[in-house]
């Protein structure tokens, strides 16, 4: 018996094993779909969300003992053995998270003399106490008289009056930052002080003030400007201040979404509720009622051996999750007219954004289109979600979709190895959704066309894309003393641009000047080691896993030097067990780049790049085998590690669906590539 025959038999057996794993993953994913057609995995962050929820309710006078105890159970369960809290699983102790968790537990009745509280307080004191916490944490303490408003940076509400061309106007900030800053200008100008019911003297440490920055530096200049604004705050122009407060309130109210949220994210939501109540909005005002009621949708309650726990999601990702799920299921071979796909298609069509939002300040002539991340966030669609939804629509409608949108077919369209099929024929495939639901197919085609057009219109000056706004690149906001809480601008990034390049190539625009310019930017912005930086996912594995498939489908040959360097980087960073992993500390410490505990999502990202450019690589077989070997019996994977990014180095996310949709996509593309070979 020849060794070649044995090898072929073993590969065939392995393919059967992979196929069985894909079926288990597919069935598990199908079981998670809602009756309305969407998928949504929990979006897990850190305990500051839960601590601030208790502080909000204490500030408003509505905190109940049950809410306090259930939340406290969750916060206690997340405490590390050394008494601290981190901002991501397995991460280092974080001062702000530990401080806020400690205060929340005291609010829930935990004694400062309890061992778990003493160890937390010791860490806070050892790291400078309240004086060394971030601005947001000190604002929360100022709200309760535990920090002086005079010792906080000033952001006056008159900011709302600045025109969009003026430096440091609201629209120089990223959408998530401007939505938080606007209500905070109201809060900071009114300087409220409520009671916690206790003092936190045990968290105070005498620390020397930080020396002023040099005057001939931006930080130094803004420190002097902050001193001037403090003097203005003591005696503001009354008429101007009243006008600014009224305009600020109007700005906030018109941006409340249908479910009561602001931007679908926690920070502006809680600050907006507080700001409006301080301006006299009663608790029974429809805006406040809707805001508080909407928070319930973001509340997760779970029974544990210790009792019921309560925690908050900082955001929710149903549009993103649903698009990723459709791509995974279709790439794994599920029929386009399968009931689950049809339900998802209908829901995605209904979620199209058809109104102008803040993005129109920079692009006033651009027609609305696209999709947002959340259930209700019509004012802030983003091009990353839009690209992924269009890719899902392409999977649903099949070959010829690009032509159906009115775009020409370029060489290479639909011939990415990830499909395992040649779709160069521009005529729509018979059957599928076109035959089963022709009206829905037409709706999707029209929505997809509008989404593509809107995305193209949202290019920044360099021909590439940030996530939410065009040309949101002025760096002055990052120099403000107030802005120490993470990213405050939304410049173009490689991962977002790659998703859009992939989308444009899939709909037949691989050879358009728009796509070619973006491709060149990606090639020019490759990291020296061969990877690409990941803005919205951790980190270089995410960026590289996004860019390589996009370049391949856009027509860059697999033997291009940039592709070769990228694949070499991936192979060099594959773990001995065949998996990939990268720790969030790679954002702040280069020694962590490409290194970390193995995760299913990051292994899948690396595989997507390899499958696109070098599917015969032995690294592919090893990575796929790791996924198969670590799959749970129910079809999904364990993944406590955070692989999603909010603000690089500051705010991290564990998308609970990532551990399922990306491995399923990788397994599906592996199998389709094998069947086509």
The catalytic site residues sit at: 384
Per-residue tokens: 202: 């045990």
DSSP characters for 449-518? HHHHHHHHHT--TTS---SS-SS----GGGGSTT--SS-------HHHHHHHHHHHHHTT-TTSHHHHHH
Helices 65-77 and 48-60: angle between axes, nearest 10 degrees:
160
| CB neighbourhood size of 91 (10 A) | 18
The residue among 459, 456, 432, 427 whose CA lies nearest residue 444 is: 432
Instruction: Identify whether the C-beta of residue 15 lies closer than 8 Å to the C-beta of residue 671.
Output: yes
* Rounded Cα distance, 89 and 92, in Å: 9
The residue among 370, 362, 364 whose CA lies nearest residue 455 is: 370
Helices 618-630 and 3-31: angle between axes, nearest 10 degrees:
50
Distance of CA 2 to the CA centre of its chain: 52
Backbone angles phi, psi at 308, to 5 degrees: -70, 135
* Rounded Cα distance, 345 and 330, in Å: 12
The residue among 449, 450, 452, 456 whose CA lies nearest residue 517 is: 456
Give the dihedral sign, CA 264/267/268/273: positive
* Rounded Cα distance, 538 and 14, in Å: 30
Backbone angles phi, psi at 655, to 5 degrees: -80, 110
The residue among 56, 145, 142 whose CA lies nearest residue 107 is: 56
Longest CA–CA separation in the chain, Å: 94
* Rounded Cα distance, 448 and 348, in Å: 10
Q: How far is CA 36 from CA 344, 348, 350, 370, in A?
A: 8, 10, 11, 20
State the SS3 of 26-48: HHHHHHCCCCCCCCCCCEECCCH
* Rounded Cα distance, 330 and 325, in Å: 9
Q: Give the DSSP H/E element, type plus range, for residue 128.
A: none
């Amino acid at each position: 018996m020849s060794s070649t025959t044995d090898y072929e038999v073993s590969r065939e057996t392995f393919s059967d094993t992979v196929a069985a794993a894909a079926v288990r993953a597919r069935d598990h994913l199908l079981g998670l779909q809602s009756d309305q057609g969407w998928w949504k995995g929990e979006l897990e962050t850190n305990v500051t969300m839960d601590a601030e929820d208790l502080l909000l309710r204490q500030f408003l006078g509505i905190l109940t003992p049950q809410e306090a105890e259930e939340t406290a159970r969750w916060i206690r369960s997340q405490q590390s053995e050394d008494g601290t809290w981190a901002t991501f699983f397995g991460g280092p102790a974080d001062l702000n998270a530990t401080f806020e968790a400690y205060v929340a537990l005291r609010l829930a009745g935990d004694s400062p003399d309890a061992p778990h509280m003493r160890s937390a307080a010791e860490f806070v004191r050892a790291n400078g106490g309240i004086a060394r916490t971030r601005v947001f944490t000190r604002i929360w303490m100022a709200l309760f008289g535990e920090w002086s408003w005079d010792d906080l940076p000033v952001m006056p509400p008159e900011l709302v009056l600045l025109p969009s061309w003026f430096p440091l106007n609201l629209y120089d900030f990223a959408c998530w930052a401007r939505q938080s800053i606007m209500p905070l200008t109201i809060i900071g100008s009114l300087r409220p002080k409520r009671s916690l019911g206790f003092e936190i003297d045990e968290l105070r440490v005498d620390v020397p003030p930080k020396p002023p920055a040099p005057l001939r530096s931006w930080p130094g200049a803004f420190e002097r400007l902050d001193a001037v604004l403090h003097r203005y705050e003591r005696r503001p122009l009354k008429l101007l201040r009243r006008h600014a407060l009224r305009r600020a309130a109007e700005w906030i109210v018109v941006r409340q979404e249908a479910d009561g949220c602001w931007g679908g994210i926690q920070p502006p939501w809680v600050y907006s509720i507080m700001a409006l109540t301080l301006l006299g909005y009663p608790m029974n005002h429809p805006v406040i009622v809707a805001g508080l009621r909407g928070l319930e949708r973001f509340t997760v309650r779970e029974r544990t051996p210790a009792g019921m726990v309560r925690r908050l999601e900082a955001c929710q990702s149903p549009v993103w999750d649903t698009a990723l799920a459709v791509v995974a299921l279709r790439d794994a071979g599920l029929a386009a007219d399968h009931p689950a796909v049809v339900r998802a298609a209908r829901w995605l069509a209904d979620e199209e954004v058809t109104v102008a939002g803040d993005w129109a300040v920079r692009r006033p002539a651009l027609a609305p289109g696209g999709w947002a991340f959340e259930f209700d966030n019509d004012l802030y669609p983003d091009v990353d979600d839009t690209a992924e939804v269009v890719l899902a629509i392409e999977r649903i409608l099949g070959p010829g979709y690009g032509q159906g949108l009115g775009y020409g077919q370029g060489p290479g369209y639909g011939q990415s190895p990830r499909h395992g099929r040649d779709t160069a024929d521009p005529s729509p495939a018979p059957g599928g959704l076109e035959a089963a639901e022709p009206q829905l197919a037409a709706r999707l085609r029209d929505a997809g066309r509008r989404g593509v057009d809107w995305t193209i219109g949202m290019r920044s000056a360099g021909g590439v894309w940030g996530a939410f706004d065009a040309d949101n690149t002025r760096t002055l906001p990052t120099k403000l003393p107030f802005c120490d809480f993470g990213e405050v601008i939304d410049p173009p990034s490689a991962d977002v641009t790659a998703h859009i390049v992939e989308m444009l190539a899939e709909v037949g625009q691989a050879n358009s000047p728009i796509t070619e310019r973006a491709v060149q930017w990606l090639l020019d912005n490759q990291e020296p080691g061969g990877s690409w930086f990941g803005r919205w996912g951790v980190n270089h594995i995410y960026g590289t896993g996004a860019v390589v498939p996009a370049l391949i489908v856009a027509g860059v040959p697999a033997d291009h030097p940039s592709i070769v360097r990228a694949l070499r980087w991936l192979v060099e960073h594959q773990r001995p067990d065949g998996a990939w992993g990268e720790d969030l500390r790679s954002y702040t410490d280069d020694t962590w780049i490409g290194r970390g505990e193995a995760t299913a999502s990051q292994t899948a990202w690396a595989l997507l790049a390899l499958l696109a450019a070098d599917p015969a690589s032995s690294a592919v077989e090893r990575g796929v085998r790791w996924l198969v070997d670590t799959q749970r019996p129910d079809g999904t994977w364990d993944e406590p590690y955070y692989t999603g990014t909010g603000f690089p180095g500051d705010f991290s996310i564990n998308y609970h669906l990532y551990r399922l949709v990306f491995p399923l996509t990788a397994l599906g593309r592996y199998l389709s590539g094998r069947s086509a070979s």
